[in-house]
Amino acid sequence: MAISEAVVRELRTVLDDGDVLVERADLIAYSIDGTWLEARPDCVVAPRTVQQVSAVLRIADRERIPVVPRGGASNLSGGTIPERGGIVLNLAQMNQIREIDTGNLLAVVEPGVLTYDLQSAVRKHNLYYPPDPSSLHQSTIGGNVAENAGGLRCLKYGVTTKYVLGLQYVTAAGAVGRAGGRVIKNVTGYQLDQLLVGSEGTLAVITEIVLRLVPYPAYKRTALAAFPTLEGASQTVVDVTAAGVVPPALELMDRSAVTVVEEYLHIGLPTDAEAILLVELDGGHEGAIEEEMKRITAILEQNGATVRLAKDDSESDDLWLARRSVSPATAQLRPNKLGEDVSVPRSAVPAMIRRCREIAARYDLLMPVWGHAGDGNIHPNLLFDRRDLDEVERLQLAAAEIFEAAVELGGTLSGEQGIGLLKREFLGLAVDPTSIAVMKAVKRALDPNNILNPGKIFPEGEGTRRIPVQLALSGHGAGEAVNASAPPVS
Ligand SMILES: Cc1cc2nc3c(=O)[nH]c(=O)nc-3n(C[C@H](O)[C@H](O)[C@H](O)COP(=O)(O)OP(=O)(O)OC[C@H]3O[C@@H](n4cnc5c(N)ncnc54)[C@H](O)[C@@H]3O)c2cc1C
């Protein structure tokens, strides 16, 4: 084992015995995430307090043991894969909602609170926490902050970063700090809280979060628009926002995504349409929403859609369930899935979708496309079987072309799922050398021994732009002893 028995004994002096796991069967459960990648840690610890997080990090930093913070492990970037072994820091037991402050419209939570649990708790006070990833029953607020999660309702409400007012964090060396606060306006020094948003567990461990809340919208209206062409649907996204209407959600699913969800849920989705758009409007005045829905319906119909308005909350819930189910439903088609997450200016959505279709056809790959089209955040999902080497090679080439297309169209590699292991070799495609050097300097300043989630975000290969499909075979997952210490970030 790469971690000595003495270190395990020491960890057991700072945590409850049952909160330190080293048995093989336990470790296997912590070797996977939302991707197909696998690598086994040497040890899993589940702290219950910030003092315990700090004590674990002090030991790990002294011993140069990699530490991988982990929330719900629903990430789609390989972000919680302990590629270099070491300690998985499971934050699931730090799951208390400490405060809901209705006067100041904020909540204070521990990082392991599930996204859905927070949404439900604040709803009882007629308040709303809008960031809404489809994984909300599995993902944690700590993971959402570390990935700057988005979801279905970002067009009007924005992504997680907009809701983070303050954080408590622990540095790699075990020091505890607070960044931001409980105030809306704050320019007191660098915005360290915002620096940690989207940092993918590489800069510090987040142990408490102060979140902004908004009033729960009194009225909602959902429409489903079925289009005879994918182009019509993607053009509508541009036309709706150009008309000055900003719906909370404007979600696109292409025909293959619609078909697979219908086969999964049987709720009467229009499988003969080439694409559908789901539109949600919300607000405090019913009349204003009806008026806006009329304007949007006119635009949808001008672009060739047949429009169905959900008649009640139950039908609306079914439609949103359909959208949330695309990802699990597509798992039935092929054993593996590369869920891409490119982000382009909204006006480039039609071109991006055309490029995706052309790439999928050229490489003969199944690729349902869906996504938060209103945000310009498209999820082309490349389905494959990693045992089929020819298909894997085509996947590699297709993925690289999708990233290149997104960047050429003025966009970037990830809208909400992060870089992690999967896209690290492509970082230089979207981020210039000066900015990569600045990012590395920040990493070195906060984590000089490179123990926090090493190997994530920054390229490891020598210029080879490839997705790490075979990590499970070459990494720690095969069970060999590894040298757990990581080289510093160069
Ligand atoms: C079916 C499905 C649908 C999804 N839909 C969406 C979607 O609509 N929108 C979206 O944005 N994402 C989506 N995702 C991706 C994923 O759910 C998000 O990235 C989510 O934010 C991850 O939360 P988590 O708690 O599972 O984090 P994890 O997967 O456990 O961790 C994610 C990253 O955060 C780090 N981390 C976790 N907790 C902490 C902490 N306390 N301190 C420091 N670092 C930490 C980890 O090291 C890792 O790098 C989806 C995933 C699935 C499987």
- pLDDT, tens only, 446-475: 999 999 999 999 998 767 888 988 664 334
| pLDDT score of 469 | 82
Cβ(259)–Cβ(331) under 8 Å?
no
Q: Please identify, by atom number, the ligand 1 atom nearest to the C-alpha of residue 152.
A: 8
Which protein residue's CA is at the shortest distance from atom 28 of ligand 1? 73
How far, in Å, from the CA of 196 to the mean position of ligand 1? 14
pLDDT digits over 6-51, tens only? 999 999 999 999 999 999 999 999 999 999 999 999 999 999 999 9
| pLDDT score of 277 | 96
| pLDDT score of 401 | 97
How far, in Å, from the CA of 72 to the mean position of ligand 1? 7
Instruction: Please list every protein residue whose CB sits less than 6 Å from any atom of ligand 1.
Output: 33-34, 68-76, 79-80, 91, 111, 133-135, 138-140, 142-144, 146-147, 149-151, 200-201, 205-206, 327-328, 416-417, 453
Task: Give the whole-angstrom CA distance, residue 246 versus residue 253.
Answer: 19
| pLDDT score of 2 | 77
Pairwise pLDDT comparison (331 vs 206), residue with the higher score:
206
Sequence length of the chain is 490
Q: Please identify, by atom number, the ligand 1 atom nearest to the C-alpha of residue 145.
A: 21
pLDDT digits over 74-107, tens only? 999 999 999 999 999 999 999 999 999 999 999 9
| pLDDT score of 479 | 36
| pLDDT score of 482 | 34
SS3 of residue 484 by DSSP: coil
SS3 of residue 288 by DSSP: helix
* CA quadruple 22, 93, 133, 207: dihedral sign: negative
Beta-strand relationship, 43-45 and 87-90: parallel
Mean pLDDT, rounded, for 368-386: 93
pTM: 0.94
> 10 Å Cβ neighbour count for 330?
22
Which protein residue's CA is at the shortest distance from atom 21 of ligand 1? 144
CA 273 to chain centroid, in Å, comes to: 29
Which two tokens mark 164? Answer: 């983070």
Mean pLDDT, rounded, for 114-128: 98
pLDDT over 90 percentage in the chain: 88
Mean pLDDT, rounded, for 177-191: 96
Beta-strand relationship, 87-90 and 67-70: parallel
pLDDT confidence bin for 255, thresholds 50/70/90: very high
Cβ(177)–Cβ(168) under 8 Å?
yes
Task: Give the whole-angstrom CA distance, residue 435 versus residue 428.
Answer: 10
| pLDDT score of 471 | 60
Q: Which amino acid is at 21?
A: L
Cβ(33)–Cβ(417) under 8 Å?
no
pLDDT at 481 > cutoff 70: no
How far, in Å, from the CA of 91 to the mean position of ligand 1? 12
pLDDT confidence bin for 328, thresholds 50/70/90: confident
Q: Which of 70, 75, 342, 379 to mutate to test the pocket of ligand 1 (most atoms within 8 A of CB)?
A: 75
| pLDDT score of 472 | 44
Query: Phi, psi at residue 162, to the nearest 5°?
Result: -70, -15
pLDDT at 278 > cutoff 90: yes
Query: Phi, psi at residue 429, to the nearest 5°?
Result: -70, -35
Q: Per 3-state DSSP, what percentage of the chain is helix, strand, and coil (rounded to 5)?
A: 40, 20, 40
